[in-house]
Each structure stands twice: as structure tokens, then as C-alpha cells.
Structure 1
Amino acid sequence: MDSFFSSIVDIFKVEGQPLSLIPAIEVAVITSAVLAILFFRFRQPALLAYIVAGLVLGIFARAVMGESSAHMEEISHLGLVFLLFIIGLELDLSQILKLGLRPALAVLLQAPLTILLALGLQHLLLLLGIHCPGLASSEKGTFIFAVAIALSSTAVAVKLLADKFDLTSQAGKITVMTLIAQDVWAVLALSYLSSQRGEGASAWTIAFMLGGAAAAALVMGWTAKKLLSRLFAFLSRSPDLIAMLALGFCFLGTMLLSSLGLSAEMGALIAGLSLGTLPMATEIMAKVSSLRDFFMAVYFVTLGMSLPPPSLAILGQALMLIAILIASRFVVMTPMLILARQGAVVSLVAPINLAQLSEFSLLLVPLGVGGDMLTGEEGSVISYAMMLSVLIATYGIKYNYPLALALHRRFSRNMPISKDDSAAPASLSGSESGVGGTGGGTGGAGGQPTEKKEEKTQPAPARDIVLLGYFRTAEALARMLKDTRPELIERIRVVDFNLKNHPAIREHGIEVAYGDISNPEALRHHRVAEARLVLSTVGNTFLRGITNQEILAAVKSMNPAARFIGTAESSEEKERLLENGAFAAISPSEEAARAISQILGRALAD
């Protein structure tokens, strides 16, 4: 294996020297791509492939990677920046703030209560002369282990929840807010540890940092609402420039927060939240997604490369540390969320989402070892616990609701039912989930009676008709449907990049979103994958950067069951669209010619 990787990296070496940054990234990407294919073949998450690729490179090719590994680690944090920026764009801050006081207290207190619990457990064991594998072996390291147990990985949890579209659920919102609160506690913990070595910040400095962050958030929110909204409207016909301006605003946020001593990722999140209410948010997400995916892959590769060679003893202790962490999530979070009336399922799903160590723990290891608070073996235990917990989290978050429902059935007698349990996916609700019952209000979990549910209002019709572009034909269609088929109006969603059209579209009662239909990723963000019918009423002459044929291919790739109606400018184009799976193809010139022909016949009849 060693010779195999050496032969690969030798291709990129120059005169026997270690790899420079670009070749090192190339080797990392090639290795990740090969392993990702193998993992996909066995239906394993790509994230695991990236971490394993880094671990393999760290073991067999560390020498030839040279100092480029450190440079790769530095630039890989752009992945976290882009990830948090997109999360901010996706989240609705007004809905998050509506969580309520009790859930907010649960979110804020999770980290400090977990630290106190972990400290108390370790001091008790040391007092009794018991060494628990996975915990500190001396009093000096207890605080570092406690902080490692209390904090979760923002990169992993948010990425996995975003992949399964679970960020906007009640459990998803609580997870994200908990991670944000943990970032604040992480800064305080780092300041405390530094103070133990004579390098810490004063209380006034910490207060200045947090106050500055709040002020920066207010300024960025005002700037986005009053200034950037006008600039975006001016640039609305150039989506690429909008994306560049948005990225500039994102990096402005990272610089502001970094200058205050807080994380750049928090600045990116604030920038995303500030832009999230603007109509271009979805288009920005589509443009930035590819950057996020690439740099996140590099991030997880460098995470794997940072790990020391493993041993069975270290892996065993790491698994014990993970078990303690998972138990602490349920012991601390679940009771608080139940008291906050979040319901049994949400109170179990949120701890499952947070059941992994934070990448912040890797920053604690060198600080602890250098300050003689941790042994080298204890540092390796924390590092491998972080990696293994990430591997476990990929499956835990993937199956978070089934796991929560199984736990709920097992302990249902001690866990009250709440209407907020409806936050679980529809496929897991009802009698199948064991949460609530049907008929007579007596089918609760554990045979306990449940209160009669309030009568639900009629749900709004699904926007399952997507109209791409809005030009003359689309305008005429909207007027006609409003008069003849008004029930269809509520099912239509228009995607168009000309903001000047949006007020007129809304006057018809049609939902409209800003988007560049030439970008397939934008189509995905605008829920084309969920549409029943997709219409393109603009001919190729007026489309920019794409044709009806290419739109059809993009739609079919993400939603094979969707019916597509396109616009053709010739009989040949019409035939090609139909041959490639279009439900129908309209040729305005042919339709106009046919209508004129009929009128000519009537006009010349006399």
C-alpha cells in the first residue's frame, strides 16, 4: 500500500521535493474520488470516503505531502465558511426566533450543563480512585475532556441535515441554534484554558467580543436590507455579479467576526441570515453550492490527515468517550426539551443530531498537550473520538427519526406526547410512528389517552407546476388561467431573473422566485425535483446560456416522472423535444401560422 501511494504522488513531485499545494490538492482529490466511488458502490456516505482518504494519505503519504498538508487545512476552512453562509441563506430567522423562551433556554444551557456534568463525573471518579477509559486520567485534563464532550460538530451536523432537507424542521432549527450557542461557549472555554497558561482574555475583553458580534450582526442586517437589496435589484439581470457581490458580503462578515476574536464561520452565518430574506437568496445558494461541496470535501480529507496512526487501545478509549458523549446528550437535552414542550420525538431527534465531537476539540488537543494538561495518548483519544463520532453521526442523522421513534416506543411511559411531535416527517407520523393515535383520541403511546387534536385548516395547494421564465406567452397564459382555470393559479410557481416582472406576476396570485433557469442547480433549489409539471414558454432565441432541449435534460435528470412542456421555434426542434421525452412541445410560429391560415379561409370565403 505504501509503495502504491508513493508511486502516485511521485507523478506530481518535482525533482524529489515534497509536493507543493496544488499537486497536493490534486492527489487528495484523486484519492477521494476513487474511494468515493467504492463507498458509493457499497452504499456508504461520501463523507466517510473523504475522511478515510485523508487517513490513508496521512499514514502512507505524509512525508511526500510535506508542508502542503498545513496549507490545505487552512484553505479547507473555506468549506465551513461556505457551508454556514448557505445555511444562513436557507434559514428563516423569524421562524427561529419564534422557538420560544423555554426552547431558547434549553439551547443556551446545553453546553454549560454538559460541562458541569462531565466535570462532576470525572472528579467523582478520580476521588474514588477509578480511571474510566475515555476520560481524563488526571485532574488537569478534566476540563478539556468536559468541553470536548459538550460541543458538537457544526460542519458535520449541518451538512448532513442539509443533505436530507431537515434543517427547517423543529428538530433541525433547535440543532442549528444549539450549534450557534456552542460556538459562543467554545470561545469562552478557549479563553479560560488560555488564562490557565497566562494567555487568557479578561472578562471585559470577552464582553467586548460578544457585544461587537451583536453590533456587527445589526450593521450587516441593515446593510443587506437597505443597500444590498437595491444593488441586487440593479444587477438582477446578471446573476453571476449577484453571486460575486454576495460572496464579498460573506467574506466581509468573516473578517468582521474574526477581527473580534470570534469564528469566521459565525460571520458567514450572520451574512447568510442577513441576505436570506432577499429574493435572490435561492439563486445565490445555487451559485455557491459547488464551492461549498468542493471545499467541504477538502476539509474532511485534511481532517483525516491530521489523525495520528491508531492503536486498538486508543480506538477503544475513543469509543468509550463517544458513548459518554451520546449519553450526556440525552441526559441533558432531552429533559430540557420535554419541559420546553417540544414533544418526545423532537426531544430525542435533536440530541441524536448533536451526538458527535466538534472539530473545536482538535484545537484543544495541542493546547492541552503543550500546557501539560493532557498526555499524548489522551490527545489521540480525543482526536480519534472526533473522527469515529463523525462516522457514527452519518448514520445517526440519516436515521434520526426512526431511531427517535424506536427510543420513544421503548421509554414512552415516561415521555409525554406533544403536538410538536408532528415535526417528524409525514411518512413517520400517525399510528406508524407510535406518536399519537387516531380515532376517539385514545390511541396515544403506551395506551395513555391523548387530548383531542384541534381541527386542522385546509392545507394550501402544493406548487407542483413550475413555470420557467416569464415573457409574453407566460403573461398571456397567466391572464387566461386567471379567467378560465383560477384553481391552477395557486399551483404555479414562476422562476424568473427579471425582478421588474415580479410585482405583475404576484398580482395574478402566482408565486414567483428569483432564479437563473440556465443553472441546473438553481432548478434543484426551486423544487423542480418535486414538480408534477414543468413549463418553458420562452423560445431558444430569448433564452440565455441554455436551450429548451437542455432544460428538458436537466428536468428529467432530477425528476424523471415530471412532465415537461417546452417551446420550439421549428418543427425540427419540436420533434427533438418529443423524441427526448417532452410531454408536449409548442411552436408559436406554427400555431400562429395555423391560426392565420384558418382566418384567411374565413376572410376569403365571400
Structure 2
Amino acid sequence: MDNGSLVFSFFLIFSGAALLATIALYTRQPLLVAYIVLGALLGPYGLQWIGDTRLLSDISHIGIIFLLFLLGLDMQPSHLVGMLSKSAVIGIASSIIFAAMGYFIAIAFDFSTLEAVIIGSAMMFSSTIIGIKLLPTTVLHHRHTGELVVSILLLQDVIAIIVLLFLYSHQQQDSSGVQLAIALAALPILILVAWLAVKFIILPIMQQFDRIHEYLFLVAIGWCLGLAELSNYVGLSAEIGAFIAGITIATSPIAQYIAISLKPLRDFFLILFFFSVGASFNLSLLDEVIIPALILSIVALILKPWVFRYLLQWLKEPLHTSWEVGFRLGQVSEFSILIAYIAASTQQIGTEASHVIQATTIITFLVSSYVVVFNFKSPIAVSDHLRRD
């Protein structure tokens, strides 16, 4: 069987996803579950119909970039600044609590101190994809809940980038302090460059040719990926660059047209992302990692909503809003999988510790998706009265 062909791989992924998605809809299950299960089934540790998922994982990363770009398009800069300043305490305090939780559980299972620190670091973050993918656009526009979710996730992204910089610096034997200083100094410069480029180049040419929709589509993709690559080059993440690219044109009337036209492209790549998550997990190691992964998952799924709930109430947020934000952020992040990959590749953690992080991420992805889809408004809710795009 030609499992090296990209076309054949796409055929298996999207035909299989269509089949499993149909079954999921009839049985009232979240679609994300279908994509992850399909990856585990067809991937190199399942039926091996798709032997190498590295290329697919790289391609699927574009979906995360588009997701953050569309998120930026839906945010007003003035609102964002206010929400970030308000949620700074929440982001920092919750990260410390979750890191301590992961560290002590890892120590209890006899992982080394360094492995426990890295496992704890991986537990700090909530999933940008789950948090925003299951958040209706109407929430971002009209409800305070969406702004809280987004601001907390953005702060976590900054913390995640700092963790990744330290891991990368270990890999490259460079000074982590120098890299971190360069990245932090580059952020305001990148924002200024993006704002000037939009004001004097991007918006003028878009407005001049706004009747040619294909051209607007191309410029939007080029602007998103260009700033993402520039952000990556200066030591930040492509996701941060994509978000800046979106928010710099959020005040333009063209923003909503771009957001609508890019959604199908975003969903295409996100299906690949969730497939690669399932396919990358080595099922033969499940017996060795399932107990610590289950403990970490259960504690995270219970602790995260409670922590966010109490921190938000401390900031005088309503009880219902605090619980909803907590449950929407009640999982581990795709950043955690990246941390596991990098730390394992540099031999800072062993294979078992890496797969504990991966298994915990996948378990919390699945359970959290069920919780949100069955209880809160989302684009893929199983009941009609909760389904909002």
C-alpha cells in the first residue's frame, strides 16, 4: 500500500473523517473526538496506513496559525488591552498552581526532578484550539466570556513561548537569557511594524481592489503567513505573529469578509491537526503511562475549572461566567505536546515522561470537548439550542 503518497494520505484522512464524523453526529459525539480516534486508528501505531505523520503535523500547524489570525480579526485592540491587564493576575496565578500540581504528581510517580519540572510546565497551559474552536463567533463579538477566554489564552501563550525558548536554548546550547531578551524586545517592534504596514500598505491596496474578492483572499493569506514567519524569525511564535496580523486589521470593514472566507481553510488544516495528535501517540507505551496520565488528567480536569472560577470571582466576575470560562479552559494545551517533543528530542526527559504529557493532553482534549459541547454554546454542539457558529 502506498502510504508515502500525500494525496493518498489526504484521501484516507478526509474520507475517514467524513465517515467517522457522520457516525459521531448520529451518536451525538463531538467531532474532535472522531478526528483524534481516526489518527490513532490509521497512524503508524495503529493500522499503519499512514506511516509518517511528520509532514502532516507540519501542514496542520497552518490551521493553528489561521485560527489565531481569525481570532485577531474578531478582537478590537482597545478591548484587548483592557482585558489583558485584567487577566494578568489570573494567567500568572493559575500557571503557578497548575505547574505545582503537575510537578508533585510527577515526583510521586518517581520521575526525575527535571522531568517533573517539565511535566509541571506542560500542565500550565489550556488549549488555544479547544478554547477558541468551541467558542462561537457571536461570543467574541457580543459577550464578555469570549474576551476573558481569549485574554487568558494569550497570556498563557506568552508564558508558553518563554518555556519553549528555554527548551530551544538547551537544544542549541545558546544563552536562554539572551534569546528571551531578544524575543521580548522584538514584540513591540513587531506590533509597530505590523500597524504601519497595515495603515500605509495593506488596507490602501485592499480598499482599492475590494471588488476583486480573490485578491482580498490572497492578500489576507499572504499578510497572515508573512507576519507569522517574521514573528517566528525574531524568536516569537508564528501564532503570535498571526494574531497580531489579524488584530491590526480588525477595525477595517474588510475584516469580517476575510474572517468568513478563511473559515473553511482553517477547518481544513485543523482536521489535519487533530488527526496528527491521535496518530503521533505510541499506543504500545499505553500500559506504562496510563496511570500517571489518568491521575494528571483527572486532577487537571477538576482543578482547572475550580481555579479559574475562584480567580475570576475574586475579580468580581459573575459566578456563571466564571464557571463557563473555567470549563472552556479546563484541559491541557497543544503547547504541552510541543514541550514533550522538544524536551524528549534534547534528552531532557525520557520517552515515558514524554508520552505521559502526550497522553494527558489527549485525554483532557477529549473529556473537555465533551464537557463544553454538551453544556455550553459552541459551533459543534450536539443539541440545536446550544449550537452557535
Partners of 1:232 and 1:195 lie apart in 2 by 40
Partner of residue 47 from structure 2, selected from 58, 61, 75:
61
The equivalent of 1:45 in structure 2 is 30
Structure 1's consecutive aligned runs of 4 or more residues displaced over 6 angstroms after TM superposition are none
The equivalent of 1:517 in structure 2 is none
The equivalent of 2:296 in structure 1 is 321
**Which structure's residues are more often helix, by fraction?**
2
Report deviation, 1:385.
1.3
The equivalent of 2:89 in structure 1 is 105
2:7 counterpart of 1:22: yes
Distance 1:381 1:209, change over 3 A: same
Give the counterpart letter for 1:73 in structure 2: S
What do the CA deviations read for 1:250-275 (whole angstroms, capped 9, x no partner)?
Answer: 11211111101221111111111111
What do the CA deviations read for 1:127-155 (whole angstroms, capped 9, x no partner)?
Answer: xxxx35xxx62322111111111011111
Give the counterpart letter for 1:88 in structure 2: G
Report deviation, 1:118.
4.2
Partners of 2:87 and 2:152 lie apart in 1 by 10
- Give 5+ residue unaligned stretches, structure 1: 1-9, 403-426, 429-528, 531-557, 559-606
Partner of residue 344 from structure 2, selected from 362, 365, 369:
369
2:77 counterpart of 1:77: no
Partners of 2:120 and 2:317 lie apart in 1 by 27
Counterpart of 2:83 in 1: which secondary structure? coil
- Greater RCO, CA 8 A, separation 6+: 2
Distance 1:226 1:196, change over 3 A: closer
What do the CA deviations read for 1:62-115 (whole angstroms, capped 9, x no partner)?
Answer: 2x4334x21111111111111111111112222222337443332344324532
Paired residues for 1:585-596 under 5 Å: none
Partners of 2:132 and 2:326 lie apart in 1 by 14
Report deviation, 1:227.
2.8
Counterpart of 1:44 in 2: which secondary structure? coil
Distance 1:76 1:273, change over 3 A: same
Give the counterpart letter for 1:300 in structure 2: F
Report deviation, 1:331.
5.3
Partners of 1:202 and 1:312 lie apart in 2 by 36
Report deviation, 1:61.
3.4
Partner of residue 259 from structure 1, selected from 233, 240, 247:
233
Partners of 1:101 and 1:262 lie apart in 2 by 21
Number of aligned residue pairs: 379
What is the aligned-residue RMSD (CA, Å)?
2.7
Partner of residue 184 from structure 2, selected from 207, 210, 224:
210
TM-score normalised according to structure 2 size: 0.88
Report deviation, 1:116.
4.4
The equivalent of 2:73 in structure 1 is 89
- Give 5+ residue unaligned stretches, structure 2: 378-384
2:199 counterpart of 1:244: no
Counterpart of 2:134 in 1: which secondary structure? helix
The equivalent of 1:281 in structure 2 is 255
The equivalent of 1:162 in structure 2 is 136
Distance 1:366 1:279, change over 3 A: closer
2:322 counterpart of 1:343: no
Q: Is this contact kept in 1: 2:126–2:333, CA < 8 A?
A: yes
2:328 counterpart of 1:353: yes
Q: Is this contact kept in 1: 2:228–2:240, CA < 8 A?
A: yes
The equivalent of 2:372 in structure 1 is 397
Give the counterpart letter for 1:205 in structure 2: Q
Partners of 1:202 and 1:365 lie apart in 2 by 18
TM-score normalised according to structure 1 size: 0.58
Paired residues for 1:183-202 under 5 Å: 183-194=157-168, 199-202=173-176
Give the counterpart letter for 2:139 in structure 1: D
Q: Is this contact kept in 2: 1:110–1:178, CA < 8 A?
A: no
The equivalent of 2:203 in structure 1 is 229
Looking at CA atoms only, which structure, 1 or 2, has the larger radius of gyration? 1
Q: Is this contact kept in 2: 1:318–1:381, CA < 8 A?
A: yes
Q: Is this contact kept in 2: 1:192–1:200, CA < 8 A?
A: no
Q: Is this contact kept in 2: 1:349–1:400, CA < 8 A?
A: no
